[in-house]
Amino acid sequence: MAARPIATLTVSFGMVSIPVKLYSATEASRAISFNRLHKGCGSRLKQQYLCVKDEVVVPREDMVKGYEFEKDQYVMFTPEELKLLEEAGTHTADIAEFVPIESIDPVYFDKAYYLAPDKGGAKPYALLTKALRESKRCALGRWAARGKQYIVMIRPSEDGLVMQQLLYAGEVRSIKELEIPDTEVKDAELKLAQQLIEQQASDKFDPSTYTDEVRARVEAAVQKKVEGQEITMAEAPEGGAEVIDLMEALRASLDKKKAPAPTKAAEQEPRKEPKRAQQAEAAPRKAARK
């Protein structure tokens, strides 16, 4: 089934405007979710909100939103007041600057969208795509939707443009907050680690080589339940041994990668007993014949 756009907007830079269609790049609907049921009868449960002071169920029409400015102290906002604070939705992503793609840490990446040219936008769309690709830069701008304002990055992919929502600086913690000791790395250790990286290196990322094994197990378990079968849980694998010698661990990893797989001829060939073992077995037989 052909993909359906979720919105239309205009990407603008300078005096150039590009009408585009917006498509979701990910499928959150594919996530497996479970409903809460009553254990006794299996019926769905309904969520209710309880007032902790009056201990009564509060209907939705009697609810307001509040912001906790101190412990257990709130200022209340009506829906009308919150509506006035929202950002007015725009149908334009205004590009403010162009920066090198590698200058943006992926930790800032949020939701991604695909952009496709809308009516009359094929030429400027192709122009922007090629210009970004050859300059190795991406476009940064702002886009307002659903009452919020977003930073967006527009970058070229192999087949078109991707619009990536970015997190604000205040939404990303700095790694400098962590206590990471300054540890010396020996040249020999570094060399072995680099050799191991080269042995397992690939030219590009192929997402099809990775599968969600947990999802597959859950789906199989659901199917068994549907068919009325019992589910048996496999024992969790034991944890790996603690690595004590870093150099030995690196060498062992390299040797494991270098070891050739046994050929079929070698697998079919009967195992030869050591010569001493053969002589030891022959000795009792000679004594019996005497």
Domain membership flag for residue 129: yes
Q: What is the CA radius of gyration of the chain?
A: 31
Pick the residue with more confidence: 260 or 69? 69
Residue 142, pLDDT above cutoff 70 = yes
Q: In this prediction, what percent of the chain has a pLDDT beyond 90?
A: 40
Per-residue model confidence (pLDDT) at position 175: 92
Question: Does residue 126 contact residue 82 with C-beta atoms inside 8 Å?
Answer: no
Question: Does residue 124 contact residue 16 with C-beta atoms inside 8 Å?
Answer: yes
Q: The domain that contains 109 carries what CATH number?
A: 2.40.290.10
Residue 241, pLDDT above cutoff 80 = no
Q: What is the DSSP string of 183-195?
A: ----HHHHHHHHH
* pTM assigned to the model: 0.67
Residue 275, pLDDT above cutoff 50 = no
For residue 177, give both structure tokens. 């907050």
Per-residue model confidence (pLDDT) at position 145: 82
Angle of helix 246-258 versus helix 187-199 axis, rounded to 10: 30
Question: Does residue 137 contact residue 156 with C-beta atoms inside 8 Å?
Answer: no
Per-residue model confidence (pLDDT) at position 284: 47
Mean pLDDT of 42-63: 89
Three-state secondary structure call for residue 154: strand
Q: Look over the chain and give the mean of its residue pLDDT values, rounded to a whole number.
A: 82
Mean pLDDT of 140-150: 87
Three-state secondary structure call for residue 270: coil
Per residue in 185-229, pLDDT tens?
A: 999 999 999 999 999 889 988 888 888 888 888 888 888 888 886
Domain membership flag for residue 97: yes
Domain membership flag for residue 215: no
Domain membership flag for residue 154: yes
Count CA atoms within 13 Å of residue 277 on its CB side.
4
Per-residue H/E/C for 103-125: HCCHHHEEEEEEEEECCCCHHHH
Pick the residue with more confidence: 232 or 173? 173
Domain membership flag for residue 179: no
Range of the domain at 22: 7-27+87-169
Q: Alpha-carbon distance 137 to 156, whole Å? A: 9
For residue 162, give both structure tokens. 């991707």
For residue 118, give both structure tokens. 């809308």
Residue closest to 126 by CA, chosen among 118, 117, 136, 138: 117
Residue 90, pLDDT above cutoff 50 = yes
Domain membership flag for residue 201: no
Domain membership flag for residue 92: yes
Mean pLDDT of 69-82: 88
Domain membership flag for residue 276: no
Reported confidence tier of residue 260, pLDDT bands at 50, 70, 90: low
Reported confidence tier of residue 127, pLDDT bands at 50, 70, 90: very high
Kind and range of the H or E element at 215? Answer: helix 213-226
Mean pLDDT of 55-59: 91
Per residue in 19-38, pLDDT tens?
A: 999 999 987 666 788 888 88
Domain tally for the chain? 1
Reported confidence tier of residue 1, pLDDT bands at 50, 70, 90: low
